[in-house]
Chain A
Amino acid sequence: MDRRVVITGIGVVAPGGIGLKEFWSLLVSGRTATRAITRFDTSQYRSRIAAEADFDPEHEGLSPQETSRMDRAAQFAVVCAREAMADSGLDFAALDAHRVGVTIGSAVGATTSLDTEYNVVSDGGRTWLVDHEYTTRHLFGHFVPSSFASEVAWTVGAQGPAAVVSTGCTSGLDAVGHAAELIREGSADIMVAGATEAPISPITVACFDAIKATSPRNDDPEHASRPFDASRNGFVLGEGAAVFVLEELEHAQARDAHAYAEISGFASRCNAYHMTGLRPDGKEMAEAIRVALDQARLDPAAVDYINAHGSGTKQNDRHETAAFKRSLGAHAYETPVSSIKSMIGHSLGAIGSLEIAACALAVEHGVIPPTANLHEPDPDCDLDYTPLTARELSVDRVLSVGSGFGGFQSAMVLTRPDGTREGGAR
């Protein structure tokens, strides 16, 4: 008997609002949370916009010690883990800690803390031989992003397998896919898994400026993230986190738990092409989709909705449109697609988990979040991208995809859970 995996708890920190409810409310409204960057002075940068989370660690229940110890991304993860744990209804203290694990995704780790600290210890970049006596004693935790998994594991009380998965912008899908795999193979019964990123810092904004990957639409930040639109000119950086309680199906059934969705399939492939570039044919993403559907034992024609990577770069949106056609055939034209990056920006390693949350909620509520700012589709992007307004549609089988620097291409299939209590509207 194959072990199966369901999502029984979700926690979210996202631009536009903290918490699962606020997140969903933004997505279905079609409003955007992209704005001029407030976290630092951006006057010397090309792209000066981002989707920032209005996150107050104290208000979210973190102690001063936790706030000083943890990078902003770790703080997001811990706050999300707490929300997900509460949402799951599980009594974590009563669980066998050895059967509980943690997987956290992040592309760039504690980059914000490292950036800030470097400025201090190098005397504003003047000293190559940095002064170690000026460093925060928490610097090691910023040096190794594995500290994010440690923080979440301490929060949860987990003593099973724990790790960070870091595969660039597919980290959020890959971390959850990895965790689901650990439950399936029997290494754990419960995984607290998700991804976090807080990349809105000078070094990250500068590095994307250098390759013109981010949008310079600084005069109109609310409308800057325009996936699939002919006028798109790059992605808009975002931040946030989503963390899930993943549970073995029978474990969830035994306690009559509410489940949002089953993780039915997951696969990843690499393009072996370029660290930042994509082949236009979408072949590797199509293969990941094909294998994920196969694992879920679904025909391509069964897919009700595709949550796209939809970053809003010229090459990405064409690449994945080609991948959808290659993997789903004619059905691609009949399947609603959307990109929530149009509303909450691209939070690199975290976004894949935020998109899984959106998919789980789409199944739960029977609503597909829209692609905001999509007025005039690129002629090469000729699918149904659910422009501007959310669509009421009961969806049972959802595909979420991601594409990342390093060549990573990932696909996950989420389905309506059977045999568990379905939630009412939350």
Chain B
Amino acid sequence: MSTTTTTPVSAARSCPVFTGLGVAAPNGLGRDRWWQATLAGQSGIRPVSRFDATGYPARLAGEVPGFEASEHIPGRLLPQTDHMTRLALTAADEAIADTGLDPEAEPEFAAGVVTAASAGGFEFGQRELEALWGKGSRFVSAYQSFAWFYAVNTGQISIRHGLRGPSGVIVSEQAGGLDAVAQARRQLRKGSRRIVTGGVDGAICPWGWAALLAGGRMSTVADAAGAFLPFDAAASGQVAGEGGAILVLEDAATARDRGARPYGALAGYAATFDPRPGSGGEPGLRRAAEGALADAGLTAGEVDVVFADAAGVPELDRAEAEAVCALFGPRGVPVSVPKTMTGRLAAGGASLDLAAALMALRDGVVPPAAHITGDGLPEHLALDLVTGTPRELPLRTALVLARGQGGFNAAAVVTAV
């Protein structure tokens, strides 16, 4: 089966580079705190605190710790922003500061914003639905028209930093974190200098919980160390979390000319969609991974580490192991699963994995997974999971995999620069 019939487009040009990184994660607010916690194997999965979850079958979440909105967000923005938008603005501030540039001093239209979204500002939406049905239509906020919708993070980041270039929003559930970065790359190819991208997400509110429970993948295990166990025999579903990463993707020449020190380069990307459920075809994840490698002009043998999608649902874990083993063979490549410390962050998840891959390349270290052993996989599908302690390795190339519920697959290849 052919994977792609087109010539690799990345090979012909210098790949765009990541020059800024901002993180809001359940195991650490801020890039450095998150990375230290990740290397130390510290999980941010805890009992839900953002609402009283005792009446729900799933009572754990990955919540960003120590986030006091008023310390990060101007007062006038507070009434018009959902919690996840405040996290996104905070991560964007960090990422943009990290580039060392003043966006306001840039040529107009040189930089834009492309973020991934999944369910928008769902908690904000719940409050307004409560006002509508509980009190009446006149009690709906003037901010409802934009505070919950899927474009909100791109719009707010654009306004806050005066970014007027090409902008957009991609929604493909968990795959969106990579799809948005690929869209950022397209804009750079058309002449933009920098695109603020990635995703920060979250719907930890009763209404979001009802929707996630209806999705059928939530774990009902109460033990924070045992609820989200991708690739394990005891895998029982997922823990939902909030947060993600905002990354600044920059044109290689611009970055070089200003002496920027990039985290890494975006060398390849591809997206696929699964065959219709019940039609029996092979899921599209392997094809996405192969397409991303072809786009990067690299072979599987050149990949040093894989960041897994890690669904935590046995048949999905097995499907992912099949895709990884088809490319690398059993135990053929180190596999990192930092998600075991955050839960799944919807549109923020793959962005955070991409951030982890970039930090891993920078530091030459693969972060360990927490809580898992990989004992749910048969020998011919066994993965070389990095667990317990970080693994120091000379890293050149990382492959990041993402699947969005509903059939979406994306893969990205990042390389050291």
Contact = CB atoms under 8 A, between A and B. Distances in A.
Interface of A: 44-45, 96-99, 101-102, 107-109, 114-115, 118-119, 121-122, 124-126, 128-132, 135-147, 149-150, 153-154, 157-168, 174, 178, 181, 185-187, 202-203, 205-211, 213, 267-276, 284, 287, 404-408
Given A98-B1, A161-B273, A269-B112, 16 more contacts: A44-B136, A118-B126, A132-B214, A138-B214, A153-B407, A167-B154, A174-B168, A186-B9, A209-B137, A210-B140, A211-B142, A270-B155, A273-B159, A274-B159, A405-B145, A408-B151
Given A166-B149, A268-B167, A406-B154, A102 B183 contact: no
Contacts of A275: 80, 146, 152, 155-156, 159
Contacts of B55: 129
Contacts of A101: 273
A269 B167 contact: yes
Contact of A109 (B145, B150, B186): B150
Specify which of B167, B176, B186 lies most central, judged by the most chain A CB atoms within 10 Å of its CB. B167
B146 A405 contact: yes
Contacts of B346: 144
Given A163-B170, A203-B128, A270 B408 contact: no
A146 B173 contact: yes
B404 interface: yes
User: Lowest 8 A-B CB distances belong to which pairs?
Assistant: A125-B134, A406-B155, A125-B133, A140-B215, A186-B6, A143-B211, A166-B150, A139-B214
Interface stretch (B17-25, B113-121, B375-383): B113-121
Contacts of A99: 5
B162 A272 contact: yes
B405 A140 contact: yes
A47 B9 CA distance: 51
Contact of B271 (A108, A162, A205): A162
B109 interface: yes
B210 interface: yes
B316 interface: no
Interface of B: 1-3, 5-7, 9, 51-52, 55-56, 80, 109, 112-113, 117-120, 122, 125-126, 128-138, 140-142, 144-146, 149-152, 154-156, 158-159, 161-173, 175-176, 179, 183, 186, 203, 206-216, 270-277, 281, 284, 287, 346, 404-408
B152 A406 contact: yes
Nearest to B179: A163
28 contacts: A45-B137, A96-B2, A98-B2, A98-B272, A114-B129, A128-B130, A129-B51, A142-B211, A146-B118, A146-B176, A147-B406, A150-B406, A154-B276, A159-B274, A160-B272, A161-B179, A161-B270, A163-B179, A164-B171, A166-B171, A167-B169, A174-B168, A213-B145, A269-B165, A272-B159, A284-B109, A405-B155, A407-B155
B2 A107 contact: no
A160 B113 CA distance: 25
Contacts, number: 283
Nearest to B131: A125
Contacts of B166: 267-270
Given A187-B6, A269-B109, A146 B164 contact: no
A99 B275 CA distance: 13
A122 B183 contact: no
A103 B146 CA distance: 22
B272 A165 contact: no
A168 B133 contact: no
Contact of B151 (A114, A132, A168, A209): A168
Contact of A107 (B119, B122, B149): B149
Contact of B210 (A108, A135, A138, A405): A135
Given A145-B150, A150-B406, A163 B172 contact: yes
Contacts of B146: 168, 275-276, 405-406
B52 A129 contact: yes
Contacts of B9: 185-186
Main SS class of interface, A: mixed
Nearest to B5: A99
A44 B216 CA distance: 37
Contacts of B3: 98
B185 to A, nearest CB: 10
Contacts of A114: 125, 129
Contacts of A144: 118-119, 171, 173, 346, 405-406
Given A130-B210, A407-B159, A270 B129 contact: no
B130 A122 contact: yes
Contacts of A404: 151
Given A146-B173, A269-B167, A137 B159 contact: no
B246 to A, nearest CB: 16
B151 A405 contact: yes
A202 B408 CA distance: 31
Contacts of B130: 118, 122, 125, 128
A268 B112 CA distance: 10
A287 B131 CA distance: 40
Nearest to A185: B9
Contact of A139 (B6, B129, B211, B287): B211
Nearest to A162: B273
A208 B55 CA distance: 35
B162 A406 contact: no
Contacts of A168: 146, 149, 151, 155
A207 B128 contact: yes
Contact of B167 (A96, A140, A408): A408
Contacts of B137: 44-45, 202, 205-206, 209
B169 A166 contact: yes
A147 B9 CA distance: 30
Given A124-B133, A268-B166, A269-B109, A163 B408 contact: yes
B167 A167 contact: yes
A157 B2 CA distance: 17
Nearest to A45: B137
Given A143-B215, A160-B272, A124 B149 contact: no
Contact of B164 (A163, A203, A270): A270
Contacts of B277: 154
Greatest chain B CB density within 10 A among A154, A163, A205 is at A163
A202 B134 CA distance: 13
